[in-house]
Amino acid sequence: MVQFVTRRLLLAIPVLLGIMLVTFLLVRSIPGDPCKSMLGEKATTEACDLFAEENGLNEALPVQYVKYMGQMVQGDFGDSIRFSRPVSQMLVERLPLTIELALTALLVALAIGIPLGVVAAMKHNKAADVGAMVVANVGVSMPVFWLGLLLAYFFALIMKDTIFELPPSGRLSAGLSSIPFYEAWGWSVNEDGFFGNVLEFISNHFIFNSLITGDWEVLGDSIRHLILPAVALATIPMAVIARITRSSLLDVLGRDYVRTARAKGARERTVIGRHALRNAMLPVVTVVGLQMGALLAGAVLTESIFGLAGVGTALVEAITSRDFPVVQAVTVVAASGYVIINLLVDISYGYLDPRIRLE
């Protein structure tokens, strides 16, 4: 197992380096003068010289790359041109929302997708199967941005003043604010230090923060605000998970050990739950890892629709204002996160299925 994990880790490193290289080259290949495209057409020569000096643009490309790598590894993503503040600070503020959104969506996708796939496989070729697969097929074809707007329209307007009313935008209702757990517990923290940043990053996960501080009002409100975005974002992964669960379970249900379990008189629930489903889950785990990419990317669209200030909206705003350090940082962070998640999935796969380790 140690050898297996080490090999997977070593395989991930070139991909991570490649991702950083591609992002580096992408941002450097902006057509035209980088200074003019970042500071604007009317930037003076002096301003441009200063800009090139500050950003090390006068140096040779390989030198720039080495410096850039060194900074990235230390978590220094440079300064946002638009806001003149460290990009890492923006990530501390905005990344937690995106993480919470993606995880909630993943939870929704699993909670609906797996039962849907199981029902479809158990009722193979019956009405329930057809119905589940219609849902799954429509689900994979759903434009997230369209579904999001429809959900907002339905739950914020049609359902207004009923118990189903849900907010169409924002993270917390006006007047509410989340008090960081370290303040609630009276810790004295230097907010500019590394440790302070870590604590702030953790406390910006509003659901987690309000859960540990026992602030039920904020907890309920932040969950209510996340329901619609999470459902919109979950649709495609949900459909993919339902399909893979169904086909994988159908495959397993035809195996000898399932027939044996049935022959010895086990209840159908035991056959499915204990014998079939456990073995059918392996491909599902892989797909879940791959869907994390779709979740991260879909978060860009979802955040934009529901007015959530996560890294997705930061990315879109940065593109329109040509704030390239932010574009670069968000791309590197999201892609690295995606690679690391899939690395974990790979490793867990080796744990779940011992045969993989020996390959």
Partner 1 sequence: MTNFLRRNPYATEPDSDFLLEKPTSLWKGAFGRLRRRRTGQIGMVLIGGLILMALLAPLIAPFAPNEVLIGKEEGVKRRTAPCYDALDFIGMFRCDSEDQPQHLLGTDGNVRDEFSRVVYGSRISLLVGITVVVVAVTIGALLGSIAGFWSGWADNIIMRIMDVVLGFPSFLLAIAIVAVLGPGIRNAMLGVVIVSIPVYARVMRAGVLSIKELDYVAASRSLGASSVRILWTRVVPNALTPLVVLATLGLATAILDVAGLSFLGLGAQPPSAEWGTMLASERNQVFTAPHLVFFPGLMIMLTVLGFNLLGDGLRDALDPSLQD
| Burial readout 228-242 (b: 16 or more C-beta within 10 A, e: otherwise) | bbbbbbbbbbbbbbb
Q: Which of positions 245-304 make contact with partner 1 (CB under 8 A)?
A: 292-294, 296-298, 300-301, 304
Binding range to partner 1, per CB under 8 A, among 141-149, 212-220, 221-229, 256-264:
141-149
Judged by CB under 8 A, how many residues of this single chain contact partner 1?
51
Residue 86 pairs in a beta bridge with 79
Does position 152 interact with partner 1 (CB under 8 A)? The reply is yes
Among candidate residues 225, 350, 216, the one with its CA nearest the CA of residue 282: 350
Does position 72 interact with partner 1 (CB under 8 A)? The reply is no
Q: Which of positions 205-244 make contact with partner 1 (CB under 8 A)?
A: none
Does position 16 interact with partner 1 (CB under 8 A)? The reply is yes
Does position 140 interact with partner 1 (CB under 8 A)? The reply is yes
Does position 23 interact with partner 1 (CB under 8 A)? The reply is yes
- Tell me the closest approach of the beta carbon of residue 219 to partner 1, in angstroms: 28
Does position 63 interact with partner 1 (CB under 8 A)? The reply is no
- Tell me the closest approach of the beta carbon of residue 101 to partner 1, in angstroms: 14
Residue from 334, 346, 349, 350 in contact with partner 1 (CB under 8 A)? 334
Residue 102 · residue 95 · CB < 8 Å = no
- Tell me the closest approach of the beta carbon of residue 325 to partner 1, in angstroms: 12
96 vs 325 by CB, closer to partner 1? 325
Residue 71 · residue 77 · CB < 8 Å = yes
Does position 40 interact with partner 1 (CB under 8 A)? The reply is no
Does position 51 interact with partner 1 (CB under 8 A)? The reply is no
Residue 79 pairs in a beta bridge with 86
Residue 330 · residue 25 · CB < 8 Å = no
Q: Is the Cα dihedral 42, 45, 46, 52 positive or negative?
A: positive
Binding range to partner 1, per CB under 8 A, among 111-119, 172-180, 261-269, 320-328:
320-328
Residue from 87, 106, 231, 335 in contact with partner 1 (CB under 8 A)? 335
Residue 133 · residue 120 · CB < 8 Å = yes
151 vs 277 by CB, closer to partner 1? 151
- Tell me the closest approach of the beta carbon of residue 152 to partner 1, in angstroms: 7
- Tell me the closest approach of the beta carbon of residue 349 to partner 1, in angstroms: 17
Does position 15 interact with partner 1 (CB under 8 A)? The reply is yes
Residue from 143, 170, 273, 354 in contact with partner 1 (CB under 8 A)? 143
Binding range to partner 1, per CB under 8 A, among 46-54, 143-151, 172-180, 274-282:
143-151
Q: Which residues bind partner 1 (CB under 8 A)?
A: 14-16, 18-19, 21-23, 26-27, 29-31, 137-138, 140-147, 149-150, 152-153, 156-157, 292-294, 296-298, 300-301, 304-305, 315-316, 318-320, 324, 327, 331, 334-335, 338-339
